[in-house]
Amino acid sequence: MRAVIVAIGVAFLVSLLATPLAIKVFARLKAGQPIRSNLGLASNEGKKGTPTMGGVVFILATVIAYVAGHLALTTLPDAQIAQVEPTITALVLLGLMVFSGAVGFIDDFLKVRKRHSGGLNKRGKLFGQILVGAIFGVVALYFPSSMTDASGATTNTETVGSSTLSFIRDIPALEIGKIASVIVIILVVMAATNGVNLTDGLDGLATGASVMVLAAYALIAFWQYRHWCADPTYTANPDNYCYAVRDPLEIALIAGAAAGACVGFLWWNTSPARIFMGDTGALGLGGLIAGMAMSTRTILLLPILGGLFVIITMSVVIQIISFRTTGKRVFRMSPLQHHFELAGWSEVNIVVRFWIIAGIGVAIALGLFYSDFLASMG
Checking if the pLDDT of 83 tops 70, the result is: no
Each residue's pLDDT tens digit, 275-305: 999 999 999 999 999 999 999 999 999 999 9
Residue 73 forms beta bridges with which residues? Answer: none
Alpha helices in the chain (DSSP H): 2-28, 55-73, 88-114, 122-142, 178-199, 205-226, 232-235, 248-269, 278-295, 302-305, 307-326, 336-342, 347-376
Name the nearest CA neighbour of 6 among 75, 65, 74: 65
Segment 367-371 mean pLDDT: 95
Region of residue 327 (phi > 0: left; psi between -120 and 50: alpha; otherwise: beta) = left
- Would you say 68 and 61 are in contact if contact means Cβ atoms under 8 Å apart? no
% of residues, the chain, pLDDT over 90: 72
Report the amino acid identity of residue 193: T
- Would you say 166 and 297 are in contact if contact means Cβ atoms under 8 Å apart? yes
Checking if the pLDDT of 122 tops 80, the result is: yes
pLDDT of residue 199: 96
pLDDT band at 158 (very low <50, low <70, confident <90, very high): confident
Checking if the pLDDT of 150 tops 80, the result is: no
Measured distance CA(53)–CA(371) in Å, rounded: 40
Each residue's pLDDT tens digit, 5-38: 999 999 999 999 999 999 999 988 887 767 665 5
- By CB neighbour count within 10 A (0-12 exposed, 13-18 middle, 19+ buried), where does 330 fall? middle
User: How far is C-alpha 312 from the chain's CA centre?
Assistant: 16
pLDDT band at 236 (very low <50, low <70, confident <90, very high): low
Backbone angles phi, psi at 231, to 5 degrees: -90, 110
pLDDT band at 114 (very low <50, low <70, confident <90, very high): confident
**Cα dihedral 119, 120, 122, 126 in deg (nearest 10):** -140
Residue 200 annotated as part of some ligand binding site = no
Please count the CA atoms within 13 angstroms of the CA of 131 that sit on its side-chain side.
11
Name the least confident of 19-33, 212-226, 319-333: 19-33
SS3 call for 168: coil
Residue 197 annotated as part of some ligand binding site = yes
pLDDT of residue 375: 84
Checking if the pLDDT of 156 tops 70, the result is: no
User: Mean of the per-residue pLDDT values for the chain?
Assistant: 89
Q: Output the CA–CA distances (angstroms, integers) from residue 161 to 71, 297, 363, 365, in the order listed.
A: 26, 7, 25, 20
Each residue's pLDDT tens digit, 175-200: 999 999 999 999 999 999 999 999 99
pLDDT of residue 136: 97
Residues near 317 by Cβ (< 8 Å), separated by ≥ 6? none
pLDDT of residue 164: 95
pLDDT of residue 43: 63
pLDDT of residue 9: 97
Q: Output the CA–CA distances (angstroms, integers) from residue 24 to 30, 31, 50, in the order listed.
A: 10, 10, 11
